[in-house]
Structure 1
Amino acid sequence: MTDSIRWPELQALYGAAPVPDLSTCHFFHTHIDERGTSVTFGFETGRLPPHPKPEWSGNAYNTLRFWIEFTGVTGLRVSGILADAERAVRITEDGTSDHLRVSVVSDRRAISFRAAAARVPHTRVYLQGPP
C-alpha cells in the first residue's frame, strides 16, 4: 500500500493521475548499501506519465523506469535472493514515528525494513521490445 506515501518526483510526471501501484510494476532491482544504510528498489511500468520530462520529447518509448531510494534503514530482514513475479509491495507510514515500514513479500522470498526517508532519485524512459 502506497496511497499515503507521496512521491513528488513521480507526482510531477503523473499530475492528477494516480501514480502506478508498485505491486503492479515490474520489480527489477534491489541494492542494499550497508555503508550508507540505504536500500534502493528499481521498478518499471508501461503506464506512461501524462506529463513527461521535456528531455524525453522526440524519443520513442513505452516504458518508464524509476528507482526508489530508502535511507536511514534499520531492521533489515532478507529471506531468499531472487525476485518472484507474484509479490506484494507495501510502503506505509509508521504510526508511532516518522519512519516508513517497507516490505516486498512473495510466497518464497521477502525483504522488509524501516526507513527514515524515501525519494525517487532517477527516472528514465525507453523503448522495450516484445518479450
Structure 2
Amino acid sequence: MTASHDWPELRDLYGAAPVPDLDTCHFFHVHIDERGTSVTFGFETSQLPEHPKPEWTASAYNTLRFWVEFTGVTDLRVSGILAEAERAVRITGGGPDRLEVSVTSETRSIAFSASASRVTYTRVYLRGSL
C-alpha cells in the first residue's frame, strides 16, 4: 500500500480525510519528457475530496483525475508499459533530496529516481458505469 506523497494540492482538497492510496487509483497515463528530465503519471479515483474546488460544484461528478510530475529524473528504467489492474505504485525516500519511484506489475515496470514531485493538474468528471 502506498499513500499519495504529501502533495499540498491533494491535501488541500481532501483536508482531514485520507488522500487516495495510489494502489487503489486507476493509473491511466505515463509521459516521459527526456528534454525536461521529467516523468508525469496520471491517476484517477472515485474517492472524492471533502473540499472540492468551487468551480467543480456546478456539475455532477464521480471521479477525480490528477497528474503527478516527477522532475530531476535519473536512472529511468522501463520494461514495457501497459495499464494493468494488478500493479503496485511505490514512492520512497532514496537519499538526500531524492525519491525512488516505481510502478510494477507481473510483466511490466517503470522505475526512476527523482529530485521532486508535485501535482500539476486536477479535474473532475462524471464517469459512466462500465
The TM tier, using the shorter chain, reads over 0.9
Cα RMSD (Å): 1.2
5+ unaligned residues in a row in structure 1: which ranges? none
> Matched residues in 2 for 1:70 and 1:32: separation?
10
TM (norm. structure 1) is: 0.95
Please show how residues 37-116 of structure 1 align to structure 2 within 5 Å. 37-94=37-94, 96-116=95-115
Contact 1:4/1:92 (<8 A) preserved = no
How much does 1:42 deviate?
0.1
Contact 1:83/1:109 (<8 A) preserved = no
Structure 1 residues 50 and 59: alpha-carbon distance in aligned structure 2, compared to 1, 3 A threshold: same
Residue 121 of structure 1 is matched in structure 2 by 120
Contact 2:3/2:19 (<8 A) preserved = no
5+ unaligned residues in a row in structure 2: which ranges? none
Instruction: Give the fraction of aligned pairs with identical amino acids, expressed as a percent.
Output: 73
The one-character-per-residue Cα deviations of 1:42-79 (angstroms, maximum 9, x if unpaired) are 00000000100011112100000000000000000000
Matched positions, count: 130
Residue 17 of structure 2 is matched in structure 1 by 17
TM (norm. structure 2) is: 0.96
Runs of 4+ in structure 1 deviating by more than 2 angstroms, as ranges, are: 1-5
How much does 1:93 deviate?
1.4
Contact 1:4/1:93 (<8 A) preserved = no
The one-character-per-residue Cα deviations of 1:20-47 (angstroms, maximum 9, x if unpaired) are 0001000000000000000000000000
> Matched residues in 2 for 1:49 and 1:4: separation?
14
Structure 1 residues 62 and 4: alpha-carbon distance in aligned structure 2, compared to 1, 3 A threshold: closer
Give the secondary-structure state (helix, strand or coil) at the position aligned to 1:57: helix
